[in-house]
Amino acid sequence: MFIRKVRSSCCMLSALIVLFVGLSSQQALAHAHLKIESPAADATIGSAPEAVTLGFSEGIELNFSGVKVTGPDNNVVKTGELKLDPVNNTQLILPIDSALKAGKYDVSWHVVSVDGHKTKGTYSFTVK
């Protein structure tokens, strides 16, 4: 009877350890997901933004990442150099160098996170 209880306890402890290791390793395998964007997705804004800012769930490798803004006429918007926020490596900043006229703008991005995973996406905003 005692051996059965010990064996049962060992099995339970082993199962908990496997579960804990499995759940904690999911964080290591996660990709950089877009968490916040400015201008916001599907937003209508009254004036043109000075920059597009993208915030991700983990650190980004700037040299392997890019952001492109396309205007209502399907032309690429003139921008400055893409930068990482100096105090937050999860945030990309793309300065807008040209005045944006009224219309819908598409932002397409691709990033490589510090753990080497690639992610990409698109969203739109409208300037009134």
Each domain of the chain, given as residue ranges in start order, spans: 1-29, 34-127
DSSP 53: E
Q: Which fold has domain 34-127?
A: Immunoglobulin-like (2.60.40)
- pLDDT for the residue numbered 17: 47
Q: CA of 55: how far to CAs of 23, 25, 59, 72, 128, in Å? A: 24, 23, 9, 24, 24
pLDDT in tens, 100-122: 999 999 999 999 999 999 999 99
> Which residues have C-beta within 8 Å of that of residue 98, sequence separation ≥ 6?
77, 78, 79
User: pLDDT-derived band of residue 23, with 50, 70 and 90 as boundaries?
Assistant: very low
Going by C-alpha positions, the residue among 117, 122, 54, 116 that lies closest to residue 89 is: 54
Q: What would the two tokens of residue 66 be?
A: 């890019």
Alpha-carbon distance of 20 to 99, in angstroms, equals 52
Give the amino acid at 1.
M
Residue 39: is the preceding peptide bond cis (ω within 30°)? Answer: yes
Q: pLDDT higher for 27 or 99?
A: 99
Q: What's the whole-model pTM score?
A: 0.77
Alpha-carbon distance of 57 to 93, in angstroms, equals 15
Look at residue 9 and tell me whether its pLDDT is greater than 80.
no
Query: Are the beta carbons of 94 and 11 closer than 8 angstroms?
Result: no
pLDDT in tens, 84-104: 999 999 999 999 999 999 999
